[in-house]
């Protein structure tokens, strides 16, 4: 039994969503800045899972994926009073599951990292690398769709600012993800900035998720306090 004024169980799950984004992005930035031969402007964050210190990024994927999945479980109860289908929570869950898979299945070398590897492999070097890319693609698509699903929901809930923010996030996320994918495919003029485009997409997406989680968490706390004061 929670104390008066404390968040509900769903509130604690929403708090996982607040934490996950900053943790993932900061870990990627710090690891990328300190790894020899890794160029954050050029190389994907998944490449940080390669090499002797690759376990740090593997843990980053798995921990933040688990936190994101917890957030997805908290979304259902948090959104139920507002009405609507559970599709938004399911999409966030798909994003988080993709992150877990990206941590379990390590990628192939891309754009010459680690040092001495080809710019682009003609074929996947292993099944786990193919699974990494497949699960990552599902995750990115799920998050993009989630942005537009919530944009529509916020319109129905009368929250225009959140609707606009969600839609703009979806557009920016899709655009930067597309540019990064072209760069990693060695498209001329984009290769040297592919890592930056991907990090921008990840940062924009995680920022939206973290702020959404914070917004719903604050609402949960206010509602719980109001109910406690009414008892």
Question: pLDDT digit string (tens) for 36-69?
Answer: 999 999 999 999 999 989 999 999 999 999 999 9
N-terminal to C-terminal alpha carbon distance within the chain: 15
107-151 pLDDT, tens digit per residue, is 999 999 999 898 888 788 889 999 999 999 999 999 999 999 999
- Residue 90, classified by CB atoms within 10 Å of its CB into exposed (0-12), middle (13-18) or buried (19+), is middle
Q: pLDDT tens across 158-215, in order?
A: 999 999 999 999 999 999 999 999 999 999 999 999 999 999 999 999 999 999 999 9
The tokens for 146 are 């989630």
More confidently predicted of 174 and 225: 174
**Is the pLDDT reported for residue 83 higher than 80?**
no
Task: Report the distance separating Cα 181 and Cα 137, nearest Å.
Answer: 10
Nearest-angstrom CA–CA distance, 184 and 204 = 19
How many whole angstroms separate alpha carbon 75 and alpha carbon 217?
A: 10
* Cα torsion 85, 97, 10, 24: sign: negative
Asked whether the beta carbons of 150 and 212 are under 8 A apart, the reply is: yes
Paired strand residues for 147: none
Lowest mean pLDDT among 14-23, 93-102, 152-161, 214-223: 214-223
């Amino acid at each position: 039994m929670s104390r008066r004024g404390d968040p509900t169980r769903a509130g604690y799950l929403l708090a996982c969503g607040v934490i996950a984004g900053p943790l993932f992005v900061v870990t990627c930035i710090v690891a990328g800045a300190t790894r020899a031969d890794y160029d954050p402007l050029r190389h994907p964050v998944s490449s940080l899972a390669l090499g002797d210190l690759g376990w740090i990024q593997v843990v980053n994927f798995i921990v933040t994926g688990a936190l994101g999945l917890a957030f997805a479980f908290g979304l259902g109860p948090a959104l139920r009073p507002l009405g609507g289908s559970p599709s938004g929570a399911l999409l966030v869950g798909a994003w988080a599951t993709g992150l877990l898979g990206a941590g379990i299945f390590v990628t192939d070398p891309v754009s010459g990292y680690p040092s001495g590897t080809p710019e682009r492999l003609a074929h996947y070097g292993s099944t786990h690398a193919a699974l990494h890319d497949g699960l990552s693609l599902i995750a990115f698509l799920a998050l993009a769709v989630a942005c537009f699903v919530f944009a529509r929901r916020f319109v129905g809930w009368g929250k225009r600012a959140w609707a606009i923010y969600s839609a703009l996030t979806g557009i920016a996320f899709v655009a930067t993800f597309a540019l990064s994918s072209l760069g990693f495919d060695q498209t001329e003029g984009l290769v040297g900035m592919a890592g930056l485009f991907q990090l921008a997409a990840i940062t924009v997406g995680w920022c939206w998720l973290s702020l959404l989680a914070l917004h719903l968490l604050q609402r949960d706390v206010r509602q719980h306090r109001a109910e406690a004061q009414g008892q």
